[in-house]
């Protein structure tokens, strides 16, 4: 399928953007869709564990992860804009088949682990709201996500979900004014890296919760939904510029929300020396703001976050699997449907064997960080190749920066490996 024919999947044809103020505002969206993925239940668990166990010490991982995320998401969006291919399609086209299949197989696994965290978070929320057993809640959440994906009805409620989750994020940030925060320690934690004894698992889970492999695949796909005419170099350059604004704006929002979660956990659980063993405990962080309704609001936020991010992880799974067959994501196509089913159904099946939901969330995010170097190195190769990107290939400075990010990720993975042998 050609680049321009894929726009028919969205019911529109390419157009010439005016690049006025209103057009810029209209362009904000793909980044926010990705942002939903990294304020998901897996993030909630990782951030709360980081703050409860280590106070403000691990805030630097949110800073580092967000900076890396901005650079990587912007870079992979360039791939989609300049080539008309998502990351999965480009991998299939420009790598030898055995290598491409190996890379994309691990990417599908990362989508499964992402969906596991999202569905599990929604199941925990249903348990808090209605007392449903987590495993039954997981099956119901998986079915709901599949209905939203296969009927495309998620597009109708997508803005409401993002809006609701954003309001809860704002409530986390606002609550910072209601609790005693050691801002000096928080500032130190944001900028000074430290790896306390026994913290590498949490560090890797924070990394995997923020810089998520499936989001790199998803962003390169959804960035093409704007239907901008890309035949003119002038249009491409302007689109790349406004895409960066969208990415930066969205990722900064995610940085604030993730930081607020760690700070609140540090100011409540760590301050009181209270270990966190289940996500349900975290609703106590909202009590200063919401009083007796804290548990209900927290559970509702967790439910919406879980369902919203289950949809995006399912889309990513569909994009990855369809890319193996050199096709764009289209929920009406059998390859996209298969990818969605693999991501959601396998994840729901794995949840049936998890005895500790909170630990399952943490470990799922760690699994994402282990796969991350494969996706990042693949992305760097593709976006640095003139054969792939033409005039829009990475410059030497960009290659060096991306290589540094890949090196940091690999270093942290080595530290994780050494800590468990």
pLDDT, residue 275, reads 81
Confidence category of residue 179, pLDDT binned at 50, 70, 90: confident
Domain that holds residue 381: 26-391
Residue 73's closest CA among 238, 249, 202?
A: 249
In the three-class reduction of DSSP (H, G, I as helix; E, B as strand; rest coil), residue 19 is classed as coil
Query: Which range (5-9, 40-44, 85-89) has the least confidence?
Result: 5-9
pLDDT, residue 276, reads 82
What is the rounded distance in angstroms from the CA atom of residue 398 to the CA atom of residue 390? Answer: 15
Does a structural domain hold residue 413? Answer: no
Does a structural domain hold residue 353? Answer: yes
Query: Which range (54-58, 155-159, 379-383, 387-391) has the least confidence?
Result: 155-159
pLDDT score of 237 more than 50 = yes
What is the rounded distance in angstroms from the CA atom of residue 138 to the CA atom of residue 305? Answer: 14
pLDDT, residue 252, reads 85
Residue 27's closest CA among 350, 250, 281?
A: 250
> pLDDT (tens digit, 9 = 90+) per residue, 321-362?
999 999 989 888 999 999 999 999 999 999 999 988 888 888
pLDDT score of 7 more than 60 = no
pLDDT score of 284 more than 50 = yes
Contact 214, 107 (CB under 8 A): yes
Residue 259's closest CA among 66, 7, 40?
A: 66
Contact 91, 388 (CB under 8 A): no
pLDDT, residue 1, reads 42
Q: Which pairs with CB-CB distance under 8 Å and at least 24 residues apart come from 16-21?
A: 16/228, 16/229, 16/235, 17/228, 17/229, 17/235, 17/238, 17/239, 19/238, 19/242
Most confident of 59-73, 201-215, 251-265, 406-420: 59-73
Does a structural domain hold residue 15? Answer: no
Does a structural domain hold residue 279? Answer: yes
Does a structural domain hold residue 36? Answer: yes
pLDDT, residue 230, reads 53
Does a structural domain hold residue 18? Answer: no
What is the rounded distance in angstroms from the CA atom of residue 45 to the CA atom of residue 61? Answer: 15
> pLDDT (tens digit, 9 = 90+) per residue, 133-176?
999 999 999 999 999 899 876 566 566 666 766 777 777 777 77
pLDDT score of 5 more than 50 = no
pLDDT, residue 72, reads 94
pLDDT, residue 281, reads 75
Does a structural domain hold residue 4? Answer: no
Instruction: State both tokens at 373.
Output: 């170097």
pLDDT, residue 32, reads 61
Q: What share of the chain in percent tops pLDDT 90?
A: 44
Q: How many domains does the chain have?
A: 1
b/e code 325-364 from CB counts within 10 Å (16+ = b): eebbbbbebebbbbbbbbbbbbbbebbeebeebbebbbbb
In the three-class reduction of DSSP (H, G, I as helix; E, B as strand; rest coil), residue 127 is classed as helix
Whichever domain contains 379, its CATH number is: 1.20.1730.10
Residue 216's closest CA among 405, 376, 365, 44?
A: 376
What is the rounded distance in angstroms from the CA atom of residue 45 to the CA atom of residue 395? Answer: 38
pLDDT, residue 160, reads 67
Q: What share of the chain in percent tops pLDDT 70?
A: 80
pLDDT, residue 241, reads 66
What is the rounded distance in angstroms from the CA atom of residue 239 to the CA atom of residue 305? Answer: 29
Mean pLDDT of all residues in 282-310: 76
User: Helix 233-265 and helix 154-175: axis angle, to 10°?
Assistant: 50
* Burial environment of residue 240 by CB neighbours within 10 A (0 to 12, 13 to 18, 19 or more): middle
Q: Can you name the residues that pair with 404 across neighbouring β-strands?
A: none
Tokens 């249903």 belong to 126
pLDDT, residue 4, reads 33
Residue 406 or 166, more confident: 406
In the three-class reduction of DSSP (H, G, I as helix; E, B as strand; rest coil), residue 132 is classed as coil
pLDDT, residue 96, reads 95
Contact 201, 57 (CB under 8 A): no
Confidence category of residue 251, pLDDT binned at 50, 70, 90: confident
Does a structural domain hold residue 399? Answer: no
What is the rounded distance in angstroms from the CA atom of residue 192 to the CA atom of residue 260? Answer: 18
Instruction: State both tokens at 105.
Output: 């197989």
What is the rounded distance in angstroms from the CA atom of residue 123 to the CA atom of residue 140? Answer: 8
> pLDDT (tens digit, 9 = 90+) per residue, 9-39?
333 344 444 444 444 444 554 556 666 666 7
> pLDDT (tens digit, 9 = 90+) per residue, 106-141?
999 999 999 999 999 999 999 988 999 999 999 999
pLDDT, residue 240, reads 67
What is the rounded distance in angstroms from the CA atom of residue 60 to the CA atom of residue 64? Answer: 6
Q: What is the pTM of this model?
A: 0.84
pLDDT, residue 290, reads 59
């Amino acid at each position: 399928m050609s680049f321009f024919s894929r726009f028919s999947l969205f019911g529109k044809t390419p157009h010439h953007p005016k690049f006025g103020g209103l057009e810029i505002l209209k362009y904000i969206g793909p980044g926010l869709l990705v942002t939903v993925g990294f304020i998901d239940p897996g993030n909630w668990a990782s951030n709360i564990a980081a703050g409860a166990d280590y106070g403000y010490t691990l805030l630097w991982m949110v800073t580092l992860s967000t900076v890396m995320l901005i650079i990587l998401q912007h870079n992979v969006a360039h791939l989609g804009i300049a080539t008309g291919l998502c990351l999965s399609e480009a991998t299939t086209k420009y790598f030898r088949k055995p290598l491409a299949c190996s890379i994309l197989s691990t990417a599908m696994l990362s989508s499964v682990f992402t969906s596991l965290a999202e569905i599990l978070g929604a199941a925990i929320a249903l348990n808090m709201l209605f007392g449903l057993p987590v495993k039954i809640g997981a099956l119901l959440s998986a079915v709901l996500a599949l209905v939203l994906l296969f009927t495309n009805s998620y597009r109708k409620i997508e803005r409401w979900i993002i809006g609701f989750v954003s309001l809860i994020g704002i409530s986390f940030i606002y609550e910072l004014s209601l609790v005693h925060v050691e801002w000096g320690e928080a500032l130190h934690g944001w900028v000074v890296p430290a790896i306390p004894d026994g913290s590498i698992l949490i560090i890797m889970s924070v990394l995997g919760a923020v810089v998520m492999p499936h989001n790199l695949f998803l962003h390169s796909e959804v960035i093409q939904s704007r239907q901008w005419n890309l035949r003119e170099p002038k249009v491409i350059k302007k689109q790349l510029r406004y895409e960066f604004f969208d990415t930066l704006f969205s990722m900064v929002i995610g940085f604030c929300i993730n930081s607020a979660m760690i700070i609140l956990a540090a100011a409540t659980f760590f301050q009181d020396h209270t270990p966190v063993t289940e996500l349900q405990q975290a609703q106590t962080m909202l009590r200063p703001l919401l009083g007796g309704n804290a548990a209900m609001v927290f559970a509702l936020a967790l439910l919406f976050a879980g369902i919203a991010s289950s949809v995006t992880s399912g889309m990513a799974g569909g994009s990855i699997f369809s890319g193996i067959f050199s096709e764009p994501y289209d929920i009406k196509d059998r390859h996209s449907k298969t990818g969605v089913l693999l991501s959601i159904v396998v994840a729901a099946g794995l949840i049936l064997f998890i005895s500790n939901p909170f630990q399952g969330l943490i470990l799922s995010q760690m699994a994402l960080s282990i796969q991350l170097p494969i996706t990042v190195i693949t992305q760097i190769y593709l976006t640095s190749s003139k054969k792939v990107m033409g005039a829009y290939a990475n410059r030497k400075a960009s290659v060096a920066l991306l290589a540094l990010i890949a090196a940091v990720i690999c270093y942290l993975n080595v530290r994780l490996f050494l800590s468990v042998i």
